């Protein structure tokens, strides 16, 4: 169906794609796997006409594809679902789907025809969505369905998904994969990028592994396993389970009581109390959108709680802002690396001192000590294997996973007393996950108190000493990690079996 031959693309001295060959068959799900910065996104952006290859050819059905813009790609039947959705929040689902390819004649949009078309497609492919709903009110998982519908409406035969599951709940991921299997049964072909090896093994037919811009191998999914894939992509054996030392928890470093925090659309945290001790990781599990972000922001001093109390080592810090919290030994890894973690136009060196440039090691009487900053950045870049290892590169030019490594490297640099980490390994490859997990455990052994918020239950179960589950703005259950079962955690995550058994349950209203 599709053949890419000798595709090469360099950005300055970085060769992102080095003579890549890729064959996509009709009716297959083809996984694309590789470390952060290996060149996966670059390759599919070339296919979609967003980047121009320096060399190489693309054939569709044996004919030269001649793709130079995204609209060429759409004309050739290629659809792309980007990790950052490109929907217009103020328009309805149907309006978004047909935008730029409206049915009917003349300037007036035939909204009834658009809604009918969306309803037909969503029934045919099992993509549940209400065509009249306002996109701004939909959950991330449903918005993604709208993005997929957009490509189907334009008759895509080749669908490219770049890390589609990074933002989905396990249930949403299962639903998406069922839909994708339905597509290939209808003869569509899919290129799927994900760092989650288990997902790829479950849903794909073949997998192409890329390392440093080159194809390492293309393997048949049924003939491989996680260990082999990890080895192919990283070039060495990867420990998929980190070893956790016994650490005696010390005194309480952070305490919160009766926290009520408002989010963008009303109360998001409704009375949370917690305690984190030195040498301990408290894991917060839960489905996305149950108040985790607002809780993390309140604890980090980024968002002022409406009421309640936060203490750091016994001191009342409820009214302090993030800079004051930082000065008291708190570090914070936000969940949204693009928006809150990094400044894209700044260099890596500048990003490394974004929150600390006023300290005496980095500035003197108002002048920045550029050499000291650059040397510091270089040490952190080496320690975390950030690629490319160039302190002068702009943050925006880094691949997603490498941006994430920069944030974690920066936040752990100061050996914090308390670390609030929200999704520290989102979008990060298996080798880097192994490394970041090791770093978090090292901080714990050093005596840091860590709050680890993650949507990945496996990650929480591996690292946490105690697990709290958040649902609808509350902590509905807490348990020692050693005693936790997936079943119990799953029930709490669904809002059942908690202490407030008389609360309404099974509520699936959409949160944003
Ligand atoms: N616009 C750009 N300008 C400069 N360098 C870039 C640009 N886009 C990508 N690169 C570089 O090209 C290389 C490949 O990046 P790419 O985004 O394709 O990686 P990836 O495999 O998708 O990684 P990840 O898993 O982290 O998303 C990286 O070294 C990256 O820094
Ligand atoms: Mg990428």
3-state secondary structure of 351: helix
Last residue of one domain, picked from the residues 170, 205, 234: 234
In a domain, 244, yes or no: no
Specify the residue with its C-alpha closest to ligand 1, atom 25.
Answer: 36
Q: Can you tell me the distance from the alpha carbon of 23 to that of 33, in angstroms, rounded to the nearest whole number?
A: 14
Over residues 222-254, the pLDDT tens digits come to 999 999 999 999 888 887 777 888 999 999 999
Tell me: do 229 and 130 sit in the same domain: yes
Residue 358: is it exposed, middle or buried by C-beta count within 10 angstroms (0-12/13-18/19+)? exposed
Q: Can you tell me the distance from the alpha carbon of 85 to that of 288, in angstroms, rounded to the nearest whole number?
A: 17
Task: Give the residue, 360 or 121, on which the prediction is more confident.
Answer: 121
Q: DSSP per residue over 81-105, as a string?
A: E-SS----TTSBHHHHHHTTS-SSS
Whether residue 398 has its Cβ less than 6 Å from ligand 1? yes
pLDDT at 152: 93
**Average confidence (pLDDT) over 391-402:** 92
3-state percent breakdown (helix, strand, coil) of the chain, nearest 5: 35, 25, 40
Whether the link from the prior residue into 388 is cis, omega within 30° of 0, is yes
In a domain, 510, yes or no: no
Tell me: do 43 and 100 sit in the same domain: yes
Last residue of one domain, picked from the residues 234, 267, 301: 234
Domain encompassing residue 386: 252-493
Atom of ligand 1 lying closest to residue 38 CA? 21
Q: Can you tell me the distance from the alpha carbon of 406 to that of 311, in angstroms, rounded to the nearest whole number?
A: 28
Tell me: do 209 and 257 sit in the same domain: no
Q: Can you tell me the distance from the alpha carbon of 178 to that of 84, in angstroms, rounded to the nearest whole number?
A: 22
**Average confidence (pLDDT) over 499-503:** 48
Tell me: do 221 and 258 sit in the same domain: no
115 C-beta neighbours (distance < 10 Å), count = 19
Q: Which residues have a Cβ under 8 Å from the Cβ of 120 and sit 6 or more positions away? A: none
Backbone angles phi and psi of 364, in degrees to 5: -135, 130
Tell me: do 420 and 360 sit in the same domain: yes
Residues of the chain with pLDDT > 90, as a percent, come to 73
Over residues 123-169, the pLDDT tens digits come to 988 888 999 999 988 877 888 999 999 999 999 999 999 999 877 77
Tell me: do 460 and 346 sit in the same domain: yes
Expressed in angstroms and rounded, the spacing between residue 177 Cα and the centre of ligand 2 is 20
Tell me: do 220 and 144 sit in the same domain: yes
Torsion of CA 292, 295, 298, 299, to 10 degrees: -100
Residues of the chain with pLDDT > 70, as a percent, come to 96
Structurally, the chain folds into a number of domains equal to 2
Is the sign of the CA dihedral 255, 167, 9, 234 positive or negative? positive
Give every strand in the sheet of 63-64, ordered side by side: 14-24, 2-11, 55-60, 63-64
Tell me: do 448 and 315 sit in the same domain: yes
Is the sign of the CA dihedral 30, 35, 39, 44 positive or negative? positive
Specify the residue with its C-alpha closest to ligand 1, atom 24.
Answer: 36
Helix residue ranges per DSSP H, 359-429: 370-383, 400-413
pLDDT at 289: 84
In a domain, 505, yes or no: no
Ligand nearest to the CA of 400: 1
Tell me: do 181 and 311 sit in the same domain: no
Ligand nearest to the CA of 428: 1
3-state secondary structure of 509: coil
Q: Can you tell me the distance from the alpha carbon of 429 to that of 437, in angstroms, rounded to the nearest whole number?
A: 12
**Average confidence (pLDDT) over 30-36:** 95
Whether residue 400 has its Cβ less than 6 Å from ligand 1? yes
Task: Give the residue, 141 or 114, on which the prediction is more confident.
Answer: 114
**Average confidence (pLDDT) over 441-450:** 96
Q: Can you tell me the distance from the alpha carbon of 80 to that of 320, in angstroms, rounded to the nearest whole number?
A: 44
Q: Can you tell me the distance from the alpha carbon of 151 to that of 74, in angstroms, rounded to the nearest whole number?
A: 8
**Which of 11, 195, 433 has the most ligand 1 atoms within 8 A of CB, as the residue to mutate?**
11
Nearest of 323, 392, 395 to residue 355 by alpha carbon: 323
Tell me: do 153 and 196 sit in the same domain: yes
Distance of CA 38 to the CA centre of its chain: 17
Tell me: do 38 and 76 sit in the same domain: yes
In a domain, 508, yes or no: no
pLDDT at 110: 83
Backbone angles phi and psi of 333, in degrees to 5: -105, 105
Residue 409 pLDDT greater than 70, yes or no: yes
Whether the CB-CB separation of 331 and 411 falls below 8 Å is answered with yes
Expressed in angstroms and rounded, the spacing between residue 397 Cα and the centre of ligand 2 is 11
Q: Can you tell me the distance from the alpha carbon of 99 to that of 118, in angstroms, rounded to the nearest whole number?
A: 12
Here the CATH number for the domain that contains residue 273 is: 3.40.50.300
pLDDT at 510: 41
Q: Can you tell me the distance from the alpha carbon of 112 to that of 109, in angstroms, rounded to the nearest whole number?
A: 9
Ligand nearest to the CA of 427: 1
Tell me: do 181 and 262 sit in the same domain: no
Over residues 171-188, the pLDDT tens digits come to 788 889 999 999 999 999
Q: Can you tell me the distance from the alpha carbon of 163 to that of 138, in angstroms, rounded to the nearest whole number?
A: 20
């Amino acid at each position: 169906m599709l053949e890419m031959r000798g595709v090469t693309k360099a950005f300055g001295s970085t060769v992102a794609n080095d003579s890549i060959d890729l064959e996509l068959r009709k009716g297959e799900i083809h996984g694309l796997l590789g470390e952060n910065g290996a060149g996966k996104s670059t390759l599919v952006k070339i296919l979609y006409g967003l980047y121009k290859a320096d060399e190489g050819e693309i054939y569709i059905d044996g004919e030269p594809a001649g793709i130079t813009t995204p609209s060429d790609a759409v004309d050739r039947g290629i659809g792309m679902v980007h990790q950052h959705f490109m929907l217009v929040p103020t328009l309805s689902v149907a309006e978004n789907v047909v935008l730029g390819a409206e049915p009917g004649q003349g300037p007036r949009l035939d909204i009834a025809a658009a809604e009918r078309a969306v309803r037909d497609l969503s029934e045919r492919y099992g993509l549940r969505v209400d065509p009249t709903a306002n996109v701004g009110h939909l959950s991330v998982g449903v918005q993604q369905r709208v993005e997929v519908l957009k490509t189907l409406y334009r008759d895509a035969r080749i669908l490219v998904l770049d890390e589609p599951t990074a933002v989905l709940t396990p249930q949403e991921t299962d639903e998406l994969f069922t839909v994708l299997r339905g597509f290939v049964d209808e003869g569509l072909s899919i290129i799927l990028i994900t760092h989650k090896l288990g997902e790829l093994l479950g849903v794909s037919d073949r997998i192409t592994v890329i390392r440093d811009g080159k194809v390492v191998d293309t393997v048949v999914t049924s003939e491989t396993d996680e260990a082999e894939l990890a080895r192919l992509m990283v070039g060495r054996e990867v420990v998929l389970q980190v070893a956790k030392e016994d650490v005696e928890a010390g005194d309480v470093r952070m305490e919160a009581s009766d926290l009520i925090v408002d989010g963008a659309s009303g109360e998001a945290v409704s009375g949370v109390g917690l305690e984190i001790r030195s040498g301990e990781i408290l894991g917060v599990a839960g489905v996305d959108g149950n108040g985790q972000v607002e809780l993390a922001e309140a604890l980090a001093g980024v968002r002022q709680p409406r009421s309640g109390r936060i203490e750091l080592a016994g001191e009342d810090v409820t009214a302090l802002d993030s800079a004051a919290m930082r000065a008291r030994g708190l570090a914070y890894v936000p969940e949204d690396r693009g928006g809150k973690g990094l400044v894209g136009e700044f260099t890596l060196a500048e990003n490394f001192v974004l929150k600390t440039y006023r300290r005496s090691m980095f500035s003197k009487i108002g002048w920045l000590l550029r050499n000291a900053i650059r040397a510091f950045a270089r040490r952190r870049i080496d320690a975390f294997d950030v690629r490319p290892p160039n302190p002068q590169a702009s943050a925006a030019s880094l691949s997603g996973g490498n941006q994430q490594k920069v944030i974690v490297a920066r936040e752990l640099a100061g050996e914090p007393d308390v670390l609030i980490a929200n999704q520290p390994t989102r979008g990060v490859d298996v080798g880097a996950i192994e490394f970041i997990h090791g770093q978090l455990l090292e901080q714990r052994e050093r005596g840091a108190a860590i709050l680890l918020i993650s949507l990945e239950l496996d990650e929480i179960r591996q690292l946490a000493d105690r697990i709290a589950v958040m649902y609808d703005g509350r902590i509905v259950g807490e348990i020692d990690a050693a005693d936790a079962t997936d079943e119990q955690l799953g029930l709490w995550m669904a809002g059942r079996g908690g202490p407030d058994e008389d609360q309404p349950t099974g509520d699936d209203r959409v949160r944003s």
